[in-house]
Each structure stands twice: as C-alpha cells, then as structure tokens.
C-alpha cells in the first residue's frame, strides 16, 4: 500500500528576507510569504489531500492554512516537524555569526555535519527527529495523500536521508519558499521514493532558491 506525501516549505518571512537565522523563533509570514503560499495553494488545488500536518511554528501553520483553503481537511500540528533549533545563532545574520563565533559559519556552509551551534541542534539530530515524524505520519495514513508543511532543514534532511545523500550536501539542494517535494511511501516494504524534489515552477523565478555551489 502506497502513501503519497507532499512536503511544502513555508512561505517567506521578514527574517528570511533579512537573511537571519530563524530556527525556533516564531516569525510569521510576510506579505510575499502569504502570496507564495497562495501560489502553492493553486498548484495543489486539484490534489485530493486526505490529511495535513504542520510544524507548530506559525510560518508553517499559516502556509498550511492558506493551502488548505482549497481543501476540506483539518490541520494537525506535529511538534517534531519544527525547524532546527539554531540556539545562540537565532536572529543573527551570517556576518554577525562570523563575528561572534569565528569560523563556525564556514563549517555550517561547507561541512554541516561538523558544525556545533551553541545551545542549538545538530543537523544529524534534526534528521533523526524529522524522519521519525515523517514515517509515523506515512504509516498512520496508508494509501492516502498527505500534506506536510515545515522548514528548510527539517524537510531537506528527510529528503537527503531517503535519497541516501550526505547532509553535507544540503545547500546544494535547497528548497524554495512554498516549493514542494513529493515522496511515495510503500508502507508494506518500508520504502520511500522521491518523485519530485523542490518543485517550484509555480513560484516566480526571482523568488526560487538557487543552489549554493561550493568553492573548494
């Protein structure tokens, strides 16, 4: 029995726009973010969604609520889908992080599995938490189509794990605000297959997230 899971990243916030680390800080969508969520709503309008889950953070909840305006589906809050706890980095830009914690932002960029965010959460721990939530949701909705709205690191680590790709490649495969990915889960075989990764053709090109190519 196969379950289809649609993974949507939330729309833009003012902290996204300012390039500040958000983490667990509860920032709402800005006006562009609401518009992006509407783009996702239109893209998914004809998809029959049986169940919907979101991170408890309001940027994800607001995005999910806008998408569900086209569906008669209740929204379930799943606490384990929250974004990476960015600890002492929350509210800071990359430049501010480099000033306060020299060298750490470069590690975050080029070797995420080795970064240590002060009072924060490791990428590996996010992957363990988020992947467990993903599988629990899939198993609780056999044969159905499920919407999950969450965050860049949360959703990316799920996808990377399914694909067997190192977390260190996370910035080479970014997720656009209000972009979506589709995963097909064979419950009987405990197997997940990625059908689409960061589909964002419904988002204006200037708003799409581009890969951060690494210079080594």
To the query of whether residue 10 is one of the catalytic residues in this protein, the response is yes
Contacts 24+ apart (CB under 8 A), 126-131: 126/84, 126/153, 126/154, 126/157, 127/157, 127/158, 127/160, 127/161, 127/167, 129/80, 130/80, 130/81, 130/154, 130/155, 130/157, 130/158, 131/157, 131/158, 131/161
Residue of 10, 82, 105, 151 marked catalytic: 10
To the query of whether residue 83 is one of the catalytic residues in this protein, the response is yes
Residue of 12, 83, 90, 121 marked catalytic: 83
Tell me which residues are annotated as active site: 10, 83
């Amino acid at each position: 029995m196969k379950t289809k899971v649609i993974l949507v990243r939330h729309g833009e916030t003012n902290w996204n726009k300012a390039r500040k680390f958000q983490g667990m800080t509860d920032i709402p969508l800005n006006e562009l973010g609401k518009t992006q969520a509407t783009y996702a709503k239109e893209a998914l309008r004809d998809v029959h969604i049986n169940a919907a889950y979101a991170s408890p953070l309001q940027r994800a909840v607001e995005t999910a609520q806008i998408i569900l305006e086209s569906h008669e589906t209740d929204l379930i809050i799943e606490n384990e889908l929250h974004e990476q706890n960015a600890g002492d980095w929350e509210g800071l830009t990359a430049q501010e992080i480099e000033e306060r914690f020299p060298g750490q932002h470069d590690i975050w960029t080029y070797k995420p599995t080795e970064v240590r965010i002060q009072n924060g959460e490791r990428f590996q721990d996010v992957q363990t938490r988020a992947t467990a939530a993903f599988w629990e949701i899939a198993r609780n909705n056999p044969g159905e189509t499920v919407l999950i709205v969450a965050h860049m690191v949360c959703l990316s680590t799920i996808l990377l794990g399914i694909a067997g790709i190192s977390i260190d490649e996370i910035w080479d495969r970014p997720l656009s605000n209000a972009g979506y990915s589709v995963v097909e889960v064979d419950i009987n075989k405990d197997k997940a297959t990625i059908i689409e990764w960061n589909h964002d053709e419904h988002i204006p090109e200037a708003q799409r997230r581009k890969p951060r190519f690494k210079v080594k």
